[in-house]
Amino acid sequence: MPEDKRVFPKNELDIIFDSIPAIIFYKNTENCYIRVNEALAKALGTTKDRLEGKSMFELYPRELAEHYWNDDKEVICSGNAKRDIIEQMETPEGTRWVKTDKIPLRDGKGSIIGIIGFAIDITEQKKMQERLTEDEIKYRALYESSSDAVMMLIPGEGFFSGNPATVKLFGCKDEAEFITKSPVDLSPEYQPDGSSSMMKAQQMMAVAMEKGSNYFEWVHKRVDGKEFSASILLTRVEIKDKKFLQATVRDITSVKETGERLRQVAQEWDRTFNSISDMIFIIDKDHSFKRVNRAACEVLKMREEELVGKKCYEILHKRNEPWPLCPMEQTNQDNMPHAEEVDDPVIGVPLLVSTSPIFDEAGQYVGVVHVAKDISERKRNEQELINKINALERFQRITVDRELRMKELKEKIKELENKISQIGTR
């Protein structure tokens, strides 16, 4: 051990030297520590006295000591500093990662007599970097394999990347061709609401940059000029103080077409539902109106929104409980269709009521289609027919009675004629 290893005065510089959290050490040309600070001693779980004067080969595994020594020799031989050395350091707590700078240590004459090393523990940063690298790999895999078109752009500058789904969606040859385009290049001149695509695109991007995200529908255009409907989610991304947008674009043309067909079907169903002259109610199994057609509203003199949610027996029969003669009660019991003539004085007109069960996707009974047909005219016709039949029967009876009396009268006349004839021959 060198005689002068403890000649350094315990002054303010020593206090600063030992207070610095970074590792600082001095080594001679024989690969031995000649001075270390408290940070290095603490990291190695020992004291400065047990480190100073010791060779690297006494303190570290040979392979690691050789690595340190090779860096030292490079600095000593070249006279140049070696910086940002990322290396391992074995400690009682396990392997740590440090970033080390080494500079030549010179004597008063300028001769190199060793090196001075400065090291900071970057274990946590390295772990974070590894996690970031893993996350980047995962993100890149998701980005590349996503079926959604995902692209990056800087407002006012344009796109700077696009995944394979993006290239395919817009009909580009490759990503290089895609990033030459701007959002306006890939849009018609005007959007469906009549606004300029250029102005509206700027507005949508500004909202996303301000609020963090913006979801909207858009009409895009492929490079061949073919337009398509799309949903767009713009998300603001910040990396190292740089802000840009990630755009996720989905072609919703088929969704739009399906939605339009469903809308047309719904309109057609609604027109049909409201054009039927019979009263039609869709009622759940708890007797609440779900839909009511126009004919029923006109008879009840109420709007559909006033009826929906109300109990059918409260509206139709003015009762606080289901009307026992209603066929819906039977349908509720056996889930089968039923029909009955209903002549409730409260309603005021005779009705032919049919109830057909409704089942959900799981096959569960949920209610009925309740059709009520006003049969007043039929009842009047039936009564009129009965009256005519009765009149005919009375007429028939009268006619038969008259014919019988005429027959008796004829027989009596004939009998008198015979008597008169007999008197004349005497």
| Predicted confidence (pLDDT) per residue in 212-242, tens digit | 999 999 999 999 999 999 999 999 998 777 8
| Predicted confidence (pLDDT) per residue in 373-402, tens digit | 888 787 777 777 788 788 777 777 777 777
Which of 94, 127, 160 is the last residue before a domain boundary? 127
CA-wise closest residue to 151 among 191, 172, 178:
178
Looking at the structure, tell me whether residues 304 and 365 fall in a common domain.
Answer: yes
Which of 335, 359, 374 is the last residue before a domain boundary? 374
What are the angstrom distances between the C-alpha of 51 and each of 34, 106, 292, 406? 8, 21, 93, 156
Number of domains in the chain: 3
The residue type of 383 is: Q
- The b/e string for 151-178 (b: 16+ C-beta within 10 A; e otherwise) is bbbebeeebeebbbbbbebbebeebeeb
* Structural domain contains residue 319: yes
* Structural domain contains residue 27: yes
Looking at the structure, tell me whether residues 228 and 333 fall in a common domain.
Answer: no
Looking at the structure, tell me whether residues 250 and 297 fall in a common domain.
Answer: no
Looking at the structure, tell me whether residues 171 and 245 fall in a common domain.
Answer: yes
The pLDDT value given to residue 1: 43
- The answer to whether residue 50 scores a pLDDT higher than 80 is yes
Q: What pTM did the predictor assign?
A: 0.48
* Structural domain contains residue 405: no
Note whether 339 and 356 are within 8 A (CB): no
> Can you give the residue range of the structural domain that contains 206?
146-256
Contact residues for 217 (Cβ-Cβ < 8 A; gap 6+): 229, 230, 231, 232, 252
The pLDDT value given to residue 9: 53
Looking at the structure, tell me whether residues 31 and 117 fall in a common domain.
Answer: yes
Looking at the structure, tell me whether residues 239 and 301 fall in a common domain.
Answer: no
How is residue 236 written in tokens? 């603001």
Looking at the structure, tell me whether residues 243 and 298 fall in a common domain.
Answer: no
* Structural domain contains residue 415: no
Which of 76, 93, 127 is the last residue before a domain boundary? 127
Looking at the structure, tell me whether residues 164 and 246 fall in a common domain.
Answer: yes
The pLDDT value given to residue 421: 73
Q: Find the range with the poorest average confidence among 80-94, 138-152, 312-326.
A: 138-152
Looking at the structure, tell me whether residues 154 and 251 fall in a common domain.
Answer: yes
* Structural domain contains residue 1: no
Mean of pLDDT values over 325-332? 90
What are the angstrom distances between the C-alpha of 186 and each of 167, 170, 177? 12, 8, 12
The residue type of 264 is: Q
Q: CA-to-CA distance for 329 and 62, rounded, in angstroms?
A: 93
Looking at the structure, tell me whether residues 64 and 151 fall in a common domain.
Answer: no
* Structural domain contains residue 157: yes
Could you tell me the CATH number of the domain that includes residue 41? 3.30.450.20
Looking at the structure, tell me whether residues 154 and 92 fall in a common domain.
Answer: no
The pLDDT value given to residue 6: 46
| Predicted confidence (pLDDT) per residue in 339-361, tens digit | 988 887 777 788 889 999 999 99
* Structural domain contains residue 221: yes
* Structural domain contains residue 414: no
Looking at the structure, tell me whether residues 201 and 160 fall in a common domain.
Answer: yes
Is residue 147 very low, low, confident or very high in pLDDT (cuts 50, 70, 90)?
A: confident
